[in-house]
Amino acid sequence: MVENMNSSTVSEYGNSSLLLLNAIPRESFSTALTKNIVAMLVWLALSILNCSMVSTFRKHCFFYEDPRYIMFICMVINDAIQLTLVTALYVMSYAFSKILASACCPLIMTAVTTTRSTPLILAGMALECYISICFPLYYSHICTITRTMWIIGVIFLLSFTPPLTDLFITVAKEPAQFFHTSIFCDHSLLFRDRSIYYKNCVFDSVYFSFVFLTLLYTYCKIMLTARAASTDVVSAKKARNTVLLHGVQLLLCMLAFVVPSMQAPLIQLFPMYGLEIRYVNFLLVYIIPRFLSPMIYGFRDEKFRKYWLRYFVSKAHKVKPAKHFSQKPG
């Protein structure tokens, strides 16, 4: 399945992972069809929300001039790509038991990159909230559009570095014909060298420590500012709550690195429920966290909510059938 695509979550490598896959009993056609339909419907619902938010952003130029909304829309697009990839990989795991390693490689690398990008974008958004509340006079000088775009570029570069090094290690250590063989499209089976696991363990430890400390620091500073401020207390409290929600979102993102490591032992303990464990893992790790992005900015942010609702109203009017038809003059 797609749930093990991040190597820091892999507890078993190569043959052991494949043995676990082979040990799981096949489920009935109706059960498999139901699971895939649910996955596709959730993907469709979230894709509609994501597309509506991107369209709302594109139609109003003043959003382009606000670093907060630029970073937000980057996270929405990033989540949409990740959700599409993991859902496609999930459905493909039922339709095709194996695909070429060369075809699996770009899918896994892109999915891992988008998975790693979300926490770093959250850290960037928390810093933007911190600057806007704690240094309002310097906000326009610090948070410029150019710097925001540079930060976004650095975030995606840092996120792409681990899967790129995974590929380099695999090319160096695997035989050339490996990429012409058919494999189950899974990170632990594609990048199976043990050094990759240890490398990403170190990277993830530093990576999540940095993001966690950033969110903790910004939350505490905003909370202290909200208590000390005599004016604009409401804005400070909203920023504090937003950073707190970013922390919840970060914890959910960390599930992508923590929960799958528990998957192999659970499947070994309960082999008859292996497919159910994988399905719950898929929903818990990759689907549920995607619901938070629309909630944090789509519903909580008053400015964006106003124009987002206008978008839905305009679409509803366009699809509403005409009740009256023009008549020819008699």
The three-state DSSP-derived secondary structure of 147-210 is HHHHHHHHHHHHHHHHHHHHHHHHHHHCCHHHHHCEECCCHHHHCCCHHHHHHHHHHHHHHHHH
Identify the residue with better confidence: 286 or 303. Answer: 303
- State percent of the chain over pLDDT 90: 14
**CA–CA separation, 131 vs 204, rounded Å?**
26
pLDDT of residue 271: 74
Give rounded-to-5 percent helix, strand, coil for the chain.
85, 0, 15
Two tokens at 263?
């998957």
Closest CA to 56 of 83, 123, 48: 48
The answer for 232, left when phi > 0, alpha when psi is -120 to 50, beta otherwise, is left
Res 215 pLDDT > 50:
yes
Per the structure block, which two tokens stand in for 254?
Answer: 């960390």
* pLDDT over 70, % of the chain: 82
pLDDT for position 328: 44
The answer to whether 302 and 59 have CB atoms below 8 angstroms apart is no
The CA radius of gyration of the chain, in Å to the nearest whole number, is 23
DSSP assignment letter at 95? H
Give the pLDDT band (50/70/90) at residue 105: very high
**pLDDT higher than 90, residue 150:** yes
Contact 83, 41 (CB under 8 A): no
User: Quick one: pLDDT band at residue 6, thresholds 50, 70, 90?
Assistant: very low
Query: What pLDDT, on the 0 to 100 scale, is given for residue 307?
Result: 87
> What is the pLDDT at residue 109?
92
If you count DSSP H runs as helices and E runs as strands, how many of each does the chain have, helices first? Answer: 12, 2
Ramachandran bin of 60, using left for φ above 0, alpha for ψ from -120 to 50, beta for the remaining angles: beta
For residues 8 and 188, give the distance between their C-alpha atoms in angstroms, rounded to a whole number. Answer: 9
Res. 23: pLDDT tops 60: no
CA distance 186 to 108: 7
Higher pLDDT, 325 or 64: 64
Q: Could you give the CA distance from residue 164 to residue 113 in angstroms, rounded to a whole number?
A: 9
Cα 13 to Cα 323: distance, rounded to the nearest angstrom: 63
* Whole-angstrom distance, CA of residue 213 vs CA of residue 224: 16
Spatial CA neighbour of 191 closest among 16, 24, 10, 22? 10
Antiparallel, parallel or unpaired: β 99-100 and 182-183: antiparallel
Region of poorest pLDDT, from 236-250, 266-280, 285-299, 315-329: 315-329
Higher-confidence residue of 32 and 257: namely 32
Instruction: Please report which confidence band the pLDDT of residue 293 belongs to, taking 50, 70 and 90 as the band edges.
Output: low
